[in-house]
Structures are given as structure tokens and as C-alpha cells.
Chain A
């Protein structure tokens, strides 16, 4: 069980479910909770994700029962029923997702029974119990997906052997989820595999409704979205694989080769796609060599963020950028079992480039743990990792300043720049990331 956290880097289960629904076109959440929950969750997600901004209803226009003390005492089921009925009239959507907050889950409203009434009338209403105390945004992502998968997605459709569903991207929590999904869809498309991404502004609800046609689910995480994919397999018989986030040419080539094998892609096509994308990366990186070399832009890497990004970023700076990963802090709330899984994954990195890995969700304690590591270094100059570079969230700027290190925000929250269609996945995402990181080093010129 976890204890206190200084300035959490995620929202609660309700927040994760809310932003997932808000990312799905023509879906709307009906929040059964206290007056401020949806607005608070929304502001955290839409500000912290590089100003994602308003979605269809955004947080403050999200239908919400706004229950108060009276309902805590007498129960909130009647209020919810009235709210759902009114929402169906007022809000123009094709999927209505009832999600609950701490209060309703503690007082034990039978929300499933209330929603079942509407489902019986054929209304597209689903429900998930997402009380905030049940976990973080990623947990909420899994909860709402389990409900979508079992209550909304059509059962019994024939399979399409060139169709995959992509999971593991918690909107806002992965600040780049939109761009990342769009790029993955493009890459897979080059191999003749169609991908359902669900959470970009260009996805339409029918692709979700009929997602049970997919031959495979790919979860781009070892820990988030796994239980949703498990539910998918159980309900619709679609198996899943877990893939690390492919950032940069080395990781993405490996990813495409695994996809090629899985889908028996013609090897000539596979080689051509990989070669073309490699070419794109290197024809831009190649001319930067003199800058990077002459200025000695190799850095010691300090990487802070969620399990998926920290691993992928470590890999990228080690495998492609030629930096030295020194310290990696994973900030998710993870079970011991998940921590072990993630740690094992890090053990696949060659020991000479494997960073010290910690699991720490608390911002200042990350600094403390890093300082402890630095004190152990036997360095006569007192600067064992100079020059360093911190890839983290906006909360890690003071840490970077303390190290006199370069800083770039990749993980939530990012509040000092706008993120729209940027992405860091794939060959081109790796190019973008290299561009951003090196730009920091010359930004004072």
C-alpha cells in the first residue's frame, strides 16, 4: 500500500476514465459524483497535457449529478436516473458512459441497476465504477475500457486478419497520445495492417463498436491496458501482445519486425518500409553530426516518468543518441508484481548503459534518491554526471536546475508548451525527440 505523495503526476481513476471518454468521438461521460470532480479532473488533464483544451463537453460542461450531503445520506440512485434521462435529451452523443466518484462508491449506489434500466430500452449507456480512491488515471483507463469492451463493443463479429486495436495510451497521461497513435497507424498501414486507434480526433465510433473484428490487440505498455486487453480476449476472443513504446530507429525497427512476423508480412515489403523510414531519420540526423560532435552534446541522462516512457526513452538515448543513461525514476503507482515486470525489462539493457532504476512517485524524494546515488560516486571533481540532461515532467525542472542540467518535458504534466500533433514514437518521432533535446542545448544562443 502506498503512502503520501508530493504533487501527484496523475489524476484518479475517475479522471482517467473521464479523459478516455472525452477522447472518443461522440462519446460523453455522465459523472455521478460531487460537484467539482469532473472539472478538477478535466483541468488537471487538459492543462497538464500541454493544454489539450476542451473536448466535446470538456470537464466543465460534462453532465454531472453534483451530489451533495443529502445524497450521501439518502443515496443518489434517483438523482442519477433523472440525470441520465435528461442527458439523453440534452447532449447529442452516441455513447453515454456513467462513471462514479469516491462518494458514490463509498455510499454504495447500485449504479449498474440504474444503467441496466436504460440499456434495456436500447439506450447506448454504459457504466463503470471509478471511485477515485481505487487508483490513478491508468487504473481508470482500464476500468472504463473493461466496461466499453463488455457493454458496448459488438460480440460475435467475424475476424479481420489485417486489423489490430491499439491500447495502452492513457489520454493526457501520455501527453502525446494523439500524435503517437496517428503515427503508429501510419506505420502499421505501410505494412498493410489497419489499426484502430479510438482516441485520436480522427477516429469514429463505429470503429470502436466493431473493434471485436480485430485479429490482435497490441498493448503499448507492460502495465497499463493489460487488464483491458485481458477483458477483450475473454469477451471477444482477441489475443493480445504487449509491446514497449517504440521510440527511434532501433526500437521501431524491432517493433516492425515483430509485427511482420505476427502478421506474416511479405519480407520484401517489410525491408522496404524499414529502409525507407531509416533513411528519413538518418538523412536529417546525418547533417547534425558536426554540431553534436563538435559541441560534445553527449549527456548523462536522468529520466523521470511512467514505466513505459522511462524504458523507451532510456532505450532511445542509449541505442540511438549515444548518451549515457544514469538514473531512471518511475513514478506510476505500481503493484510489486508490476514493478518486478518493469525492472526485468530494464535488465535487457546492456549493463554498461543500464541506469540506476528506482520506483518513486514523490517528486522531492526522486531528487533525494538521485543525490544519494551521486554521493556514492567517487568523483574527485564533485561532478560525476556533468553534463547531465533531465527528461521528465514540468515538476522536475527544479531538479534539473539543481544539476545545472538541460531539461525537456516528455511526461505528464507538461505545462510550459503546447502539445498538438507532436509525437515521439516511430522513426520520425525519434527524429522529433532528437531535435527537441538538442534544441534545448542551443536555446541560449
Chain B
């Protein structure tokens, strides 16, 4: 399947990747049935809890571009979660010693009369204001349910302003109601960058790596690793500049820490500009980093250097890993993360010697943009032992029910708002918020020690659990966790 950069928007993941948000079964079943062109049908729920919005995912990436601005064409509430993006922005700027500054975002404040008469005027003024105020190098127009349903002609407004605003003004189609898979918002953001910012290569930059990530906490570690094989990482999209993004077509290779995140842009750059996309499992744990570095090394012809590097990194960390495995003997865990991490962390926890009782994935892409099943789930399915596996757009009532049945020692989660429920059940919760947790050999060991520390003193969660009642009825705890999931037609 080819990514169409002529189209005005990226098709949602449900259409493009066969993504689902409702499934209950086992890992091997899911992998078996979605291999060789097979598909599973999504199951809906008759009870659901809130999940996340595509627009938040688009904006968290785009608001991080340091010299771009966002015009959020939406009622004010849709810009509410930019408070959170601003925190991420300010932390990131602090660590880079860039000084305090807010993200550059204007919301068009769609109100009731606009739902009748249209919001084009407000959009036009919003774009003008963003230009006047920030003089950005690019302006992204993020859409909303309201703007989508009203049917504002965003392209029309953009072309009207073409002579007036001398920088790219790009539509980002991230209406929350289009997709239940919030990662569709990442693709919307990448599509906008690919179609509105990225330029054809002037000349190839043989040492440049497009490192697709979120916040880039492991910059120093990756820079050191890459330096050993003669490569230089450029961390995209957050904290990059428009000028840097214009040139990603010139890179030697695209790699990612999260295959959910990287699929669209990695595949598009490969198809459009011949920049190879590393399609290995994500670089978490020993197996992850080794496969990933070998993938990169193969592209740039540095196999020997990579092997040497791997041997060194292994030697530096094997002792710690053995000690951690000894400590974690008999420990049992449940995982609830986005698909790339959920799959990747099955491998990470294997390496740490922690048994996984159940894995939940916040959605599941049956195949990536380059047409293959996600590599990490294939690897996980090769293990002898199968594991129960569920797909839910962070449906916490299912997770809470599952945790209260399985009573694991540990709950590993990603995305805010999930680990808290395990903690309130008295289960040690390890939220993986930093995308570089367990990155590489040293990251795995660091992550292991973090788990060991969390298990060393469980007083906080234990005492909390004694005093907190969760919102569910007794009835619910006695039901199958998937009671409200539609049964698959066989």
C-alpha cells in the first residue's frame, strides 16, 4: 500500500491499517489470524469510557516545532489539553536550556452562531493573528469535530491568504470523531509536515538519521551510540525547526523509538524520497536495541561497527541484568500500553525475567503502512507460551476488572490516566511515560532498577488501596472483563 501525498489528508488507521480498538483473545490467535492477508473485524462496545482525541495527538507533535504556530480551528475546549502540551514544551525547553516560552497556538473559538453561519471568518482572522504575533515559519490549521461538521472550507481560506501569508499554511485533518484510534492524529500531523514542509532533497546527507520520537530524553545516549557508527541523529518532530524538517528527505535513514508513531512518516519518506525506514522491533531491551542497530547498520553499511558497539554495550550491562533477573524471579505483571509499546514490552519483561499474565493494547494495527504485520508482535508470538491479549482504546473498566482478577505484582502502562487505577488497587504501577524507558542495554538496566526500587517500598499504594474505593459496582467485578465487547461473528 502506497502513501498518497497528493491527497489532502491521511486516511484514518481503521481504513489504512485495518486498525481495531476491540478484541479479546490471545496473542497467538491475533497474530495468526492477521497474518498472510487475514484480518479480524473490530468489535464495538455497548459500554465505553472516554479515550483520547486525534487532535491532541496531532497537536502534541506540531506544537513542539519551535518556530511553527498552530491555529486550532475549534471551540475553546479543544485547546484545553494544550496546557499539558505546554508543560511538555516547558520541560523540554528547560532541559535544553532554551528559556521559558509558551507554545505558539491560537484557538479560533468556534461559538454557537458559527455552527450556523460558518467559522471561515474566524479562521481567517486566526491565521492572520498567528502570523502577526509569532511570525512563524509555518502555520498548521488543526481541525475539530465542530469545524468538520459545519463543513468550513479550510482550503479555500488558506488559498485566499496565500499572497498575504508568506509561509506554508497547512491543514491538519484531526477531527476527533473521524477515528477511534487516536494515533490517526499522529498521521494527520505527519501528513501535514510531509505535504507542506518537507522539500525534495538537494543533496543526500549520508550521516543524518531521522529519529522519530516524542520528547527526546535520550538525546545524549543516542548521539553517543550513533557517533560510534558515524551517524548524527535529528530528533523529530517536537523540538525541531521548520528548516530541519524541510530536509528530512535528505537523511540516510529513518528510525523510530515507537513503531506506532513512525509507520506513516517512515514509510512515506522511503516511498517518496528513498530514505530507508528501519522496520525492526523497537529499540527496547537487549533484543530490541540489537535488532534496531543492526537494521540501521545494514542500511549505512556499518555492520562491523555495530557488532562491536553491541558487544561493548552488552558487556557493560550483563552483570546488572543477571542481578535484576534474580530479584524479579516469580514476579508477575500485566501490561496496558499503546500497540508498539505493548508488543515491545512483552520482550522487555521477558528479558527482565518478569512473567506477563495479560497484555492490553490501546489499539492494534493489523499491518503497518509498508504492508507488514508489526514486527514486535510477530516476535512475541514466537515465544512458546501464549498470553491473553486484549485491544481496547484504554477502556479502564476492562483493565480494572482484569487487574482485580489476576492480582499481578506489577502493572506496566503507558499514557496518562491508566497506571493510577492499578495503584489504587494496591498494585505497584510502573508508568512508562518517557518513550526512552528501557531504551537500549543501559536503558533496560536502568528501567530494571526503577522497578526494583518501586517494589522495595510499596507502602504508598498499599495504604492507598485500603482507603480508596474505585467507581465500579460489585456486580462489575464478577463479570467477564469483556462483557460489553460485541462477540465476533464466526
Contact = CB atoms under 8 A, between A and B. Distances in A.
- Chain B CB within 10 Å — which of A5, A44, A135, A413 has the most? A5
- Chain B CB within 10 Å — which of A38, A68, A398, A401 has the most? A68
Given A41-B80, A62-B50, A413-B83, A68 B179 contact: yes
Given A68-B177, A102-B144, A35 B51 contact: yes
A294 B192 CA distance: 58
A31 interface: yes
B101 A133 contact: no
A237 interface: no
Interface string B25-60: 000000000000000000000111111111110000
Q: Which 10 A-B pairs have the closest CB atoms?
A: A36-B53, A12-B77, A44-B80, A86-B47, A60-B417, A38-B50, A34-B176, A4-B126, A132-B75, A64-B50
A364 B133 contact: yes
Contact of A31 (B50, B54, B471): B50
B384 to A, nearest CB: 35
Contact of A401 (B76, B84, B100, B114): B100
Interface stretch (A89-97, A249-257, A298-306, A384-392): A89-97
B180 A35 contact: yes
19 contacts: A7-B105, A8-B107, A12-B76, A35-B52, A35-B53, A36-B182, A38-B50, A40-B81, A44-B84, A54-B420, A60-B396, A61-B417, A63-B48, A66-B48, A69-B178, A90-B473, A103-B177, A132-B77, A401-B100
Contacts of B146: 102-103, 106, 132-133
B50 A395 contact: no
Interface residues of A, number: 76
Given A5-B107, A36-B56, A53-B420, 8 more contacts: A6-B129, A7-B107, A11-B80, A12-B76, A39-B417, A44-B84, A63-B50, A103-B146
A87 interface: yes
Contacts of A135: 111
B98 interface: no
A339 interface: no
A2 B111 contact: yes
A67 interface: yes
Contact of B109 (A2, A14, A53, A87): A2
A132 B81 CA distance: 14
Contact of A7 (B82, B87, B149, B182): B82
A194 B423 CA distance: 37
Given A61-B421, A68-B180, A7 B393 contact: no
A350 interface: no
Contacts of B52: 35-36, 39-40
A106 B75 CA distance: 13
A413 B397 CA distance: 30
Nearest to B121: A3
A61 B473 CA distance: 14
- Chain A CB within 10 Å — which of B75, B126, B144, B475 has the most? B75
B319 interface: no
A150 interface: no
B47 A34 contact: no
Interface string B71-100: 100011111111110110000000000001
Contact of A3 (B47, B122, B421): B122
B102 A395 contact: yes
Contacts of A83: 46-48
Contact of B145 (A2, A34, A48, A82): A34
Nearest to A8: B76
Interface string A138-157: 00000000000000000000
A125 to B, nearest CB: 15
A47 interface: yes
B53 A40 contact: yes
Nearest to A83: B47
Contact of A1 (B75, B113, B394, B418): B113
Interface string B296-337: 000000000000000000000000000000000000000000
A92 B46 contact: no
A34 B396 contact: no
A8 B80 contact: yes
Contacts of A401: 100
Nearest to B87: A415
Contacts of B176: 34-37
Contacts of B46: 82-83, 86
Nearest to B415: A60
Contacts of A61: 49-50, 396-397, 417, 421, 471
A58 B400 CA distance: 14
Nearest to B418: A60
A10 interface: yes
A93 B103 CA distance: 39
B19 to A, nearest CB: 13
B460 interface: no
A398 B359 CA distance: 44
B76 A136 contact: yes
Interface string B463-489: 000000001111110000000100000
B45 to A, nearest CB: 8
Contacts of B47: 63, 82-83, 86-87, 89-90
Given A4-B129, A12-B77, A35-B180, A102 B149 contact: yes
A168 B109 CA distance: 24
B434 interface: no
Interface residues of B, number: 71
A101 B80 CA distance: 14
B55 to A, nearest CB: 7
Interface in A212-266: none
A258 to B, nearest CB: 35
A59 interface: yes
A91 B471 contact: yes
Given A44-B80, A47-B83, A60 B50 contact: yes
A182 to B, nearest CB: 20
B89 to A, nearest CB: 11
B115 A40 contact: no
Contact of A92 (B86, B103, B471): B471
A363 B102 CA distance: 10
Contacts of B393: 35, 66
Contacts of A273: none
Contacts of A68: 177-180
Nearest to B54: A36
A15 B74 CA distance: 14
Contacts of A67: 177
Interface string A54-82: 10111111111111110010000000001
Contacts of A63: 47-50
Contacts of A12: 75-78, 80
A141 to B, nearest CB: 13
B484 A6 contact: no
B108 interface: yes
Nearest to A92: B473
B394 A60 contact: yes
Contact of A398 (B100, B115, B474): B100
Contacts of B144: 102
Nearest to A395: B102
Contacts of A90: 47, 397, 472-473, 475-476, 484
B473 A36 contact: no
- Chain A CB within 10 Å — which of B100, B109, B112 has the most? B109
B50 A37 contact: yes
Contact of B472 (A64, A66, A91, A364): A91
B125 interface: yes
Given A36-B52, A91-B473, A106 B149 contact: yes
A37 B53 contact: yes
A12 B77 CA distance: 4
Given A6-B133, A11-B76, A68-B179, A35 B476 contact: no
